[in-house]
Amino acid sequence: MADTAEGAPRRRGRNETEEERADRMWQELIQEVRVAQMGVQILFGFLLTVVFTEKYDDLTDTDQTIYLVTVVLGACATGALIGPVSLHRLVSGRRVKPQAVQLASRLTLLGLILLLATTTASLLLILRVATHDGFVPYLVAGVVGWYLLCWFVLPLWTRHRHTAK
């Protein structure tokens, strides 16, 4: 911490109470969840229609299994990403916002991990059906690597690099 001209240490960050911080963090979290929810809901909605197409009956047993796993992962991701909204509604006014923010944050992270798994399985299924080539697992692995870099590695690196110790 840098010293001010009067010799008193200068505070870093915001000067907010625990409740004010919880309110701010809740608003930020809800904005983040909206983005993730949109992605998972579009993907999940698309997945739900596949079973009703003629092409579904032509899928191999392996591809049908991948499809079923993908749908279950999508359903779980949807639940985790909608969970913070339900949590907020059920505990609103109970003076537990800091705890609710912490739990909602964990649900959101779990939802992102499940969204990663859903997207990975979807991509695997689509590319297997579209190409029938042996390079599909490598392509999917490359995309998963990209997601991991964008969703986790860069944010964690930024947190480590720019967080005061």
CA neighbours within 13 Å on the CB side: how many for 73?
Answer: 19
Average pLDDT of span 50-69: 96
Max CA pair span of the chain: 77
Predicted confidence band of residue 12 (pLDDT cuts 50, 70, 90): low
N- to C-terminal Cα separation, the chain = 10
Number of Cβ within a 10 Å radius of residue 82: 16
**What DSSP string runs through 94-157?**
SS-HHHHHHHHHHHHHHHHHHHHHHHHHHHHHHHHHHH--TTHHHHHHHHHHHHHIIIIIHHHH
Q: Give 115-154 pLDDT, tens digit per residue.
A: 999 999 999 999 999 998 999 999 999 999 999 999 999 9
Query: What does pLDDT average to over the chain?
Result: 91
Torsion, Cα 50 145 35 160, to 10 degrees, reads 160
pLDDT reported for residue 1: 44
Q: Compute the distance between CA of residue 56 and CA of residue 76 in angstroms, rounded to an integer.
A: 22
Angstrom CA distances, 3 to 6, 7, 12, 23, 131, stand at: 8, 5, 11, 30, 63
pLDDT of 6 > 90? The answer is no
Cα separation, 98 vs 80, whole angstroms: 19
Percent of the chain with pLDDT over 70: 92
Residue 10 pLDDT level (bands cut at 50, 70, 90): very low
Please state whether 3 falls in left (phi above 0), alpha (psi between -120 and 50) or beta.
Answer: beta
pLDDT tens, position by position, 28-48: 999 999 999 998 989 999 999
Let me know: does 83 contact 104? Beta carbons within 8 Å.
yes
Confidence (pLDDT) at 92 = 87
Assess whether pLDDT exceeds 80 at residue 5.
Answer: no
pTM of this structure:
0.85
User: Higher model confidence: residue 126 or residue 9?
Assistant: 126
Provide long-range contacts, Cβ within 8 A and 24+ apart, for 44-49.
44/71, 44/74, 44/75, 44/77, 44/78, 44/118, 47/71, 47/74, 47/118, 47/122
